[in-house]
Structure 1
Amino acid sequence: MATSLSSTPEIKGNIFGQKPALFVLFFTEMWERFSYYGMRVLLVVFLVQVAFGETPWDTADALALYGIYTGLVYFTPMIGGIIADKYIGYRKAVLAGALIMTLGHASMALEMEYAFYLGLALLIIGNGLFKPNISSIVGQLYDKEPELKDGAYTIFYMGINSGAFLGIMLCSYYGENPDWGYSYGFGLAGVFMLIGLVQFYFAQGIFGRIGLAPSELEGYDNDPANASAFAVEPDGGSIEGAIPAVSQGDGREGPRAIQWAFIGTGIAAVVYFLIAYFTEPQVNALQTISRQFMPPIIIGSVIAFVGWIVSDKSLLKVERDRVWSIIVFSFFIVFFWWAFEQAGGSMTIFALKYTDRTLDGDSATTFRIANTLLTVIPVMVLTYVFLKLSKITFAKYGLANSILGLAFVLVWLLVGNMLYEQFTTTEPEVAAGWFQIFNSLFIICFAPAFAKLWEQRIKLLQRGPVKFALGLILLGIGFAILAVGALSIPDGAQSASVSMFWLIAAYLFHTLGELCISPVGLSYVSKLAPLRLVGLMFGVFFVANFVANFAGGLTGSYIEPIAEAVGLSGFFLIFAIVPISAGVLFIAISGWMKKMMHGIE
């Protein structure tokens, strides 16, 4: 939706030098990420521990479903961007997506089999509408102040990670705690998603005309020169990639046709999933989808996508070379996210079955103190930000601020109860999902240092391929550490009690790798893509994430047979060798890539 942006309503005051409107988006995104990661951290554990009151699922089936779900989560934003661009506008897309996701979380909280699948489908659809379009509003908010945009996205990025941090911590604690149960974990995700929805709805006047549908804009200027074409958020990461809306303003039938071809593929995948599930036994349906049906569709779609791009006769030689370099970047990023997404899959299984999570004595005391600091300090900072926002905007948006205040009261109650229970339990048990908080925590701690590192203009690190390669190698080192930690586990063992140090160290290196990959990839797409193909080139990155997430779940589903053959250490060593090899190969071709990029650094 190419909007000619008018100024937002005048509100006196700022927060950290940024507009108050940014923090409405900050908290909306924070609660959405709370819900997404809060649910995701429980998904595999729920399936292999409880399922639907019957026999728990096999690990292979749980990880296969995880791959299908996380893969489709990266597919639907392409559709959501088109819908917002052409028809309903960014604001309505955000509201519709949030409502659909709220219903999805509510369905999963019922812990009924059919409601569970309905919930996953609603989350996939809702994410497609929500994710690309809230980040677009952020970009349009600063269309007339580009010098503030980098700082705005940095703050927005912190909202993403803050939500992920709180969602993982609280949902995993209450969901995995037998005194509470998974309904509470899934339900919490839905409650905070609803709060984000309502808060955004009652505060949306703060955005002026930004994000309205084309039919709602009076005096709308159709000049493409005034378009805010793409709002690219810093990657959230595993926390996940930025997903800008897809521009349809160039009138080219090629990009439009290929986008709708992918829409058809997505619909076919969902229909086949439903048919397979209701006509075959559960395990066969999942194996059919993940191991037989999806790979041919993915391979065929990727070939069609790439073929369509490179056969475009309107591309000049320099443009074609740069497009090829984007395709190469996308190819290598598949290896990164394929391994990285084991966080919610095989690494969660490692935490659940093979990590010593029961603490006593000094170790219990250390954990209680550390967990208290890890929890209370971030919530205090976020509460301070909320109070700053409320002080500035309460007069005009009192209802939205009251709802947001209610959310913080609820968070403090949940945090207080969690810490009380942990301090009064003789031998507290760490939730399997708790380890995933370290990704968000390390991002928040190290992102400023990496930003400073890139500013140092170190010659070697100015090359995008070298940064990519470094990210892949750091990721591989993280898995190598995990492989060392698993050496003491006998081949084929169903349980063990290795130190939690190995998981924490692995997450550290994974996050350092992510900081090399995530901020760089989307930046290079925006720099390298011809203006008329920017939307399509971002689509390439979406497909890369789609493929990586699905492949990660599929590979993780083989954890048990691989562990029986070469040990659990051998399984994780695969995820060390492949990214490191890809990183070395990328360094080897970095000179060729530099030529293909034609001066883009």
Structure 2
Amino acid sequence: MSQTQTITHQPEFETLWGHPKPLWMLFMAEFWERFAFYGIRWALTLYIVAQFYAGNASGEGDASRYYGAYLALVYATAIFGGYVADRIIGYQRSILLGAVVMSIGLFMIMVPSLDVFLLGLAVIVVGNGLFKPNISSLVGQLYKQGDDRRDRGFTIFYMGINLGGMLSPLLTGWLASEIFGTPQHQNYKAVFGAAGVGMILSTIWFYIGRKQLKGIGMMPEDKPAGKMLAYVIAGVVVAVPVVYFLMAGMGAQTLAWVLGVLFVIVAGMLLLEGKQNGRIQMHRVCALLLLFGFNVTFWMFFEQAGSSFNFLAQNLVNRDIFADGSFIFPTGWFQSVNSLAIILFAPVISAIWYFTSKRKMEPTIPFKFGLGLLGNALGFLVLMFALTQLVDGNGLIPLWPLVLCYVLQSIGELCLSPIGLSMVTKLAPVRYVGLAMGAWFLSVATGNNLSGILAGEISGETGMTIESALAGFSFSFYLLLGAGIVLLVISPLINKLMHGVK
């Protein structure tokens, strides 16, 4: 029995600022989890090169591939976390167990050993798989079917994600560069420790606040609680070395095939369930899978932020804020630009959707996805301009093109990512909402893994150069532009398959 079947009626929630009160509890739990996630995200590739390659630029390619594989597995394991919540221990216990496991992994990566570091990343991956898809699914379950507040609720939730994502790099970037007054890579243990504390706060916040959910996300009633939880904990212990092997032993290229096969299997399960629920549900699953494909393309290029964009910022951007060199913009602070842009522009984009909806002119979900791809493309166009026209005598580009690239990508993200989370809860078969949310994150995972492979190619064997960056970012622009145009053209067909879902 799935979680959606254990609740016989939709609970009535008190509202706060027009939305169910539990939304704000989930908002803060996600805030602290994202604080932890983004606290280490900006630092991973730079730390790997500094700590394990003695700062040699030849390590950039390996660091990017490790990062891409890690990020891919963070999202790929969501497919299993969604299934565990749907079928075995419920959403609430999955979230709490995942939070505890992630906390352990974040403290493990403080140890300056490559093997322990990668094992710690594997622990984080497994914990995130239990946490991430299920807290998003709970947001969708707060609203009745057809409630037009759902999209706006997910946008608010998305702002919680990005508030944590904005503040975390600012704090951890400062910790790494200033607090001890020593070379930055020696201070990463403070970065990783701060992220671990953030994850502990997320655990405590959700544990205390889960009573507000009024039974949503509880353990399926036909399952023995202790026995099922023990099985899942045993599964976590088995999964960690498997993830370690996929990330450290198998390599990003092989992992791409593994993710592809996994996606085919999950797509088959969703299609079979759709077929059993009739023609309309089958069509909706087909629309879902088509948009998942375009989602892969978006994240393949968007997630250059933690790899090639990091090396661009560190090596090829003039980060001197003042002419006398008295303040150098920390590399980690670039990672806050995306989240700050989300916070600033999310109300604007939400207002646009509301304004157009009232006039029956709101773009369809596929059209919004197409706009997201084009926004991502424009970011790379700015970098192409900078790398061809703005390189100074020291081989550096100004700071502002990279900042503007992040802003344009963020606007594209707002047209796609929160809409995608809401879309899954609307189009997925009722019994497999958690599994479908996991499939959404699996498509993100595939894009993230490809992003690491691409970033590794951009850096090559000798590290990133102006020429290699221009070639890689030009390829990114043209592919995103083409994908965005194709999606805008076929959006009426996909919308027809959705049978009235808005």
Normalised to the residue count of structure 2, the TM-score between the two structures is: 0.83
**Rg larger in 1 or in 2?**
1
Deviations 1:37-82 (A, max 9, x none): 0011111111122338686761110000111111011111222222
Code of the residue aligned with 2:263 in structure 1: it is V
Partner of 1:503: 402
1:519 to 409, 418, 423: 418
Q: 1:307 and 1:8, CA in 2 relative to 1: closer, same or farther beyond 3 A? A: closer
Query: Does structure 1 residue 186 correspond to structure 2 residue 185?
Result: no
Shift of 1:85: 3.0
Please tell me whether residue 569 in structure 1 is matched to residue 470 in structure 2: yes
Flag the 1:327–1:16 CA change in 2: closer, same or farther, 3 A.
Answer: closer
Which of the residues 319, 337, 348 maps onto 1:357? Answer: 319
2:228 matched to which residue of 1? none
Aligned counterpart for 1:551 among listed residues 450, 454, 472: 450
Shift in Å, 1:144:
11
1:195 and 2:94 matched: no
User: What is the one-letter code of the residue matched to 1:328?
Assistant: L
8 A contact 1:52–1:113 mirrored in 2: no
1:474-513 to 2 correspondences below 5 Å: 474-487=375-388, 496-513=395-412
Give the structure 2 partner of residue 297 of structure 1.
258
How far the C-alpha of 1:576 sits from its partner, in A, is 0.9
Does the aligned pair in 2 maintain the 1:465–1:593 contact within 8 Å? Answer: yes
Which residue is equivalent to 1:340? 302
Give 1:519 shift.
3.0
* Equivalent residue letter for 1:302: F
1:433 & 1:473 partners in 2: Cα distance?
A: 26
CA distance in 1, matches of 2:438, 2:202: 27
Q: Distance in 2 between matches of 1:299 and 1:201?
A: 35
Shift of the 533–6 alpha-carbon distance from structure 1 to 2, 3 Å rule, reads closer
Highest RCO, 1 vs 2 (Cα 8 Å, sep ≥ 6)? 2
Distance 1:52 1:310, change over 3 A: same
Distance in 2 separating the partners of 1:595 and 1:452: 25
Residue segments in structure 2 that go unaligned for 5+ positions in a row: 225-235
1:159-558 matched pairs, under 5 angstroms: 159-177=160-178, 179=181, 181-214=187-220, 270=243, 272-273=245-246, 277=248, 285=249, 289-291=251-253, 293-306=254-267, 314=276, 316-360=278-322, 427-455=326-354, 456-457=356-357, 461-487=362-388, 496-531=395-430, 534-558=433-457
Query: Cα–Cα, structure 1 residues 153 and 525, in superposed 2: closer, same or farther, change >3 Å?
Result: closer
Supply the distance in 2 between the matched residues of 1:537 and 1:138 (Cα, whole angstroms): 15
Question: CA 1:119 to 1:530, structure 2 compared with 1: closer, same or farther past 3 Å?
Answer: closer
Q: Is the Cα contact below 8 Å between 1:63 and 1:346 reproduced in 2?
A: yes
Residue aligning to 1:412: none
- Hey, what's the Cα distance between the residues in 1 that align with 2:292 and 2:56? 40
| Aligned partner of residue 384 in structure 2, secondary structure | helix
Is residue 86–residue 432 contact of structure 2 (8 Å, CA) maintained in 1? no
SS at match of 2:52: coil
Task: Name the CA shift for 1:353/1:132 in 2 (closer, same or farther; >3 Å).
Answer: same
* Distance (Å, rounded) in 1 between the aligned partners of 2:284 and 2:149: 29
Q: State the AA in 1 paired with 2:199.
A: M
For 1:411, the equivalent position in structure 2 comes to: none
CA distance in 1, matches of 2:285, 2:9: 34
Q: What is the number of residues matched between the two proteins?
A: 477
More off after superposition, 449-458 vs 560-569? 560-569
Counterparts of 2:213 and 2:421, CA distance in 1? 26
- SS of the residue corresponding to residue 109 of structure 1 reads coil
| C-alpha distance in 2 between matches for 1:306 and 1:9 | 34
Return closer, same or farther for 1:204/1:57 CA change in 2, 3 Å cut-off: farther
Worse overlay, 14-23 or 332-341: 14-23
Q: Provide the secondary structure at the position in 2 that maps to 1:74.
A: helix
| 1:503-560 Cα deviation digits (max 9, x unpaired) | 1110111011111112333444444444455555444423211211111111111112
Cα distance change, pair 525–30 in 1 and its aligned pair in 2 (3 A)? closer
Whole-angstrom CA distance in 2 between matches of 1:185 and 1:271? 22
Q: Structure 1, unaligned stretches of length 5 or more?
A: 219-262, 278-284, 365-425
Hey, what's the Cα distance between the residues in 1 that align with 2:23 and 2:318?
Answer: 42
